[in-house]
Amino acid sequence: MTKTFDLKVATLSTIIGIVLVLFMAWLTGDDFGAPVFPFMAVLSAYIISGIVIGFTSKGETIVEPGVASIITGVVTYFIITAMNLSCFKLLAGDVFAVNMLLLTLNGIILAFAGAWTGEKFQLTFENKVESKNVVEWGWIIAGTIIGVTASIFLAGLIIKAFTATLTPFFIVLAVGILLTGLVVGWRSPGVTIKESAIAGILTAVIILDIFKFTLDPDTTSLTSGSILLSVVIGLIAALIGGVIGEKIQASGSKK
């Protein structure tokens, strides 16, 4: 039986998407002279909206968040334009329109990725899996998406208060990756500590890339030592989160 398009889910996803995109644009748009990090923050909002709907809705709902992200992109384009944020002042005329179009197209793709991640944590696909692999790459990918998204979202909040320095960066990284390990360990069937660890390392590397190429392209805030420390933090935080998640899963199964 073919599942019909759920208008209620699509509507809710649109509302969540619009609110999150505008919130992240407002949160970061006046703190930067260039649009790179605000764009990353907005893209994280698309992912979060997809994750929330994919996780909370009944059954497989990946198409609905994708359609909602298109509507979200159209609506937020006009609102963000009217907000006159300082980070977009360098983008005049067609340049701004092209950047916003690419932002929306990438947002649509990432909303699908977020929806898939939400469905993964809802265990929608687990009944279709017949064998246990040595490494569950699906959970690694889902955990990495959660970790990167959470870290970027938290970074937007932290930067608003503390600016882009390394100490808040390490805090954001640790919290985001701890959440990665916790959710993977809690929601995934069986023991997935190694998946949490791999997802934590991948998240750390991706966040380092984002920090370097968007916030610190021409300075030396990041050193070889701080990069290695970030990877170690990622591994340890993910392992701790994974163990906590497995404990939560075990305690829940006993009830």
Pair 192, 172 in one domain: yes
User: Which of residues 96, 128, 160 is at a domain's end?
Assistant: 128
Total count of domains within the chain: 2
Pair 111, 156 in one domain: no
Pair 7, 120 in one domain: yes
User: Which of residues 111, 128, 145 is at a domain's end?
Assistant: 128
193-210 and 137-162 are packed helices; what angle lies between their axes, rounded to 10 degrees?
Answer: 40
Q: How far apart are CA 203 and CA 149, in angstroms?
A: 9
* Host domain of residue 41: 1-128
For the beta carbon of residue 244, count every other beta carbon within 10 angstroms. 16
Per-residue pLDDT of the chain (255 residues; tens, 9 = 90+): 455 777 888 888 899 999 999 998 898 888 777 788 888 888 889 988 888 888 777 776 767 887 888 899 889 888 988 888 888 887 777 888 888 888 888 888 888 888 888 887 777 655 555 555 556 778 888 888 888 888 888 877 776 666 555 666 777 778 888 888 888 888 777 777 888 888 888 888 888 877 777 666 655 566 778 788 888 888 888 889 888 888 887 876 655
> Rounded to two decimals, what is the model's pTM?
0.73
Pair 236, 134 in one domain: yes
CB 211 within 8 A of CB 229: no
Pair 68, 138 in one domain: no
Pair 42, 103 in one domain: yes
Pair 124, 12 in one domain: yes
Q: Which two tokens stand for residue 58?
A: 């009944």
Pair 7, 72 in one domain: yes
Pair 1, 99 in one domain: yes
SS3 for the chain, per residue?
A: CCCCCCHHHHHHHHHHHHHHHHHHHHHHHCCCCCCHHHHHHHHHHHHHHHHHHHHHCCCCCCHHHHHHHHHHHHHHHHHHHHHCCHHHCCCCCHHHHHHHHHHHHHHHHHHHHHHHHHHHHCCCCHHHCCCCCCCCHHHHHHHHHHHHHHHHHHHHHHHHHHCCCHHHHHHHHHHHHHHHHHHHHHHCCCCCHHHHHHHHHHHHHHHHHHHHHHHCCCCCCCCHHHHHHHHHHHHHHHHHHHHHHHHHHHHHHHC
State residue 1's pLDDT score. 42
Q: Which two tokens stand for residue 52?
A: 């929330």
Pair 13, 115 in one domain: yes
User: Which of residues 85, 105, 128 is at a domain's end?
Assistant: 128
Pair 166, 63 in one domain: no
Pair 102, 59 in one domain: yes
